Amino acid sequence: MIESVLVANRGEIALRVIWACRDLGIRPVAVYSEADRDSLHVSFADEAVCIGPGPVGESYLNMASVIAAAEAMKVDAIHPGYGLLSENAHFAEVCEACGLIFIGPSPEHIRRMGDKAEAKKLMVGCGLPMLPGSPGPISDLGEAEAIAREIGYPVLLKAAAGGGGRGMRVVIRPDEILKAYQTASREAEAAFGSGEMYMEKYLARPRHVEVQLMGDRHGNLIHLGERECSVQRKYQKILEETPTVALTDAQREAIWGDAVKGASELAYYSAGTMEFLVDGDGNHYFMEMNTRIQVEHPITEEITLVDLVKEQILVAGGAPLSYEQEDVSFRGHAIECRINAEDPETLAPAPGQITAFNVPKGPGVRVDTAAHEEYFVSPFYDSMIAKVIVHGRDRDEALARMRRSLDLMVIEGIRTNIPLLRKVLDHPGFVAGDYDTHIMDEILPNIGMRG
């Protein structure tokens, strides 16, 4: 029986865990850096311990401090939130070694799925579809041509040693492959010291669809539907919605089925999310698994009425799942927008002092935030300051509620991405449900991404 939880995080997710603790009658204990001394998560916890100065490495990521605080406050369990220590297998091990319950999966789950290449191998072994590609590095042009013929054009050549768009070339037609292979390889050699190349099927209009999973320690595992997270800027999600309009109902059932199959093979427990890429025909391909609660979890909560954080805590305490698969139903449509403190032109984080703050309210509106009227957005932490979540009986109602909510979300003193998010909600492709991960390139043509 968990009676107290140390929240090893800050900001809105720390508050989120505190809400769940209070609902369960569990004593929440906060930890904070000196920069977060006046934070809401500190005010609303039953007790709070200062664990270090502002910089994250000296405070929230300082495992010794977090564990020492847990021991001093005699808590039963630690909830790591998302980011920070949540996918640190070593931290999960240390918690167990110190007799503290880590609210999440096992260290082994974290380790295996944290290694992206290993995770892909494991999931393919379970029969999950993966993006076709070269099994290993390509030895020469001849092999490149053969593999491309087999998986079908267009293909993507990627540097084995690098990323960020360098050493990457899209090859649309067979007669382009020679030049593409040579140039990409030379570029990779210059940038990363290795000209070794991999090949993957290129999806022209990929969509990002993920499945929420929840398991207990008695072998039960269910899914709670999917979320579409294709609105991304530099691989950072800024808007998510559920259900996805990219898939038919049959395709949704198929992606749920694969996610449950893969996670069950791992004997997974606690919250987790399996991420897939979806192509123009609605086929899904396994990308990776996140072994933690995610930022966008509220939209799943809105359409299922399941409190995911509460369920994590219950499951960690040894309880069986509160729901069977047939108990899970989906109602309506939900959308989340992430409000970031950032410069609208350069898109760089923009810390500063908030001078006015009004959150939208009303039917179907939920705002998860630790910001307030006198909040100082610190340069030490990431720039997300609030999540605006709306729920409606259908997608049109949800869109209208989100437009209204963003218009009524007044934040003064700092710059935010609210105007950018507002543009997404008027983008014809987005409104029609016909968009993919390149949508931000269309909305921000001057600040594109390479590769």
Partner 1 sequence: MDIDQLRELADLAIEKNLAEIEIEQHGVTVRIRRPEAHVVAAPMAVGPAAHVVAAAGDASAEPVSAYADAHMITSPMVGTFYTAAEPGADPFVQVGDQVTAGQTLCIVEAMKLMNEIAADIDGEVIAVLQENGQPVEYGQELFAVRPS
Q: With binding defined as CB under 8 A, does residue 98 bind partner 1?
A: yes
Cβ-based nearer residue to partner 1, 32 or 256: 32
Q: How many CA within 13 A on the CB side of residue 410? A: 6
Distance CA 147, CA 65 (A): 51
Instruction: Please answer whether residues 105 and 132 qualify as being in contact, where contact means their C-beta atoms are separated by less than 8 angstroms.
Output: no
CB of 55 to partner 1, least distance (A): 12
Q: Is 53 in the site for partner 1 (CB under 8 A)?
A: yes
Q: Is 49 in the site for partner 1 (CB under 8 A)?
A: yes
- For the four alpha carbons of 191, 180, 160 and 276, in that order, the dihedral sign comes to positive
- CB of 18 closer than 8 Å to CB of 30: yes
Pairing of strands 365-369, 384-392: antiparallel
Q: Residue 55 or 332: which CB sits closer to partner 1? A: 55
Q: 């989120």: which residue's tokens?
A: 16
Residues from 25 through 44 that contact partner 1 (CB under 8 A) = 34, 37, 42-44
- Which one, of 157, 164, 163, 170, lies nearest residue 198 by Cα? 157
- Nearest-approach distance from CB 40 to partner 1, in angstroms: 9
CA distance 397 to 332: 9
> Which CB sits closer to partner 1, 16 or 297?
16
State which of residues 47, 187, 265, 343 lies at the interface with partner 1 (CB under 8 A). 47
> By CB under 8 A, is residue 248 in contact with partner 1?
no
Does 61 sit near partner 1 (CB under 8 A)? no
CB of 73 to partner 1, least distance (A): 7
186 labelled catalytic:
no
- Name the one residue in this structure whose structure tokens are 């509220």: 298
Q: Is 65 an interacting residue with respect to partner 1 (CB under 8 A)?
A: yes
224 sits near partner 1 (criterion: CB under 8 A): no
Residue in 10, 16, 233, 292 annotated catalytic? 292
Cα–Cα distance for residue pair 440/342, rounded to 1 Å? 16
Among 54, 55, 61, 73, binds partner 1 (CB under 8 A): 73
- Per CB under 8 A, does 96 bind partner 1? no
Counting Cβ atoms within 10 Å, is residue 331 exposed (0-12), middle (13-18) or buried (19+)?
A: exposed
Residue closer to partner 1, measured from CB, 41 or 387: 41
Instruction: Report the greatest alpha carbon distance in the chain.
Output: 67
| Binding residue for partner 1, selected from 29, 51, 177, 308, defined by CB under 8 A | 51
Q: C-beta of 30: minimal distance to partner 1 in Å?
A: 11
Does position 104 interact with partner 1 (CB under 8 A)? The reply is no
Q: Reduced to 3 states, what is the DSSP secondary structure of residue 428? A: helix
CA-closest candidate to residue 169, choices 140, 198, 206: 198
User: Can you tell me the distance from the alpha carbon of 104 to that of 37, in angstroms, rounded to the nearest whole number?
Assistant: 27
Count of residues making up the chain = 451
- Residue from 6, 20, 56, 67 binding partner 1 (CB under 8 A): 67
Stretch that binds partner 1, among 50-58, 133-141, 215-223, 392-400 (CB under 8 A): 50-58
Binding site residues, partner 1, CB under 8 A: 34, 37, 42-44, 47, 49-53, 59, 64-65, 67-69, 71-73, 94, 98
| Residues annotated catalytic, as ranges | 292
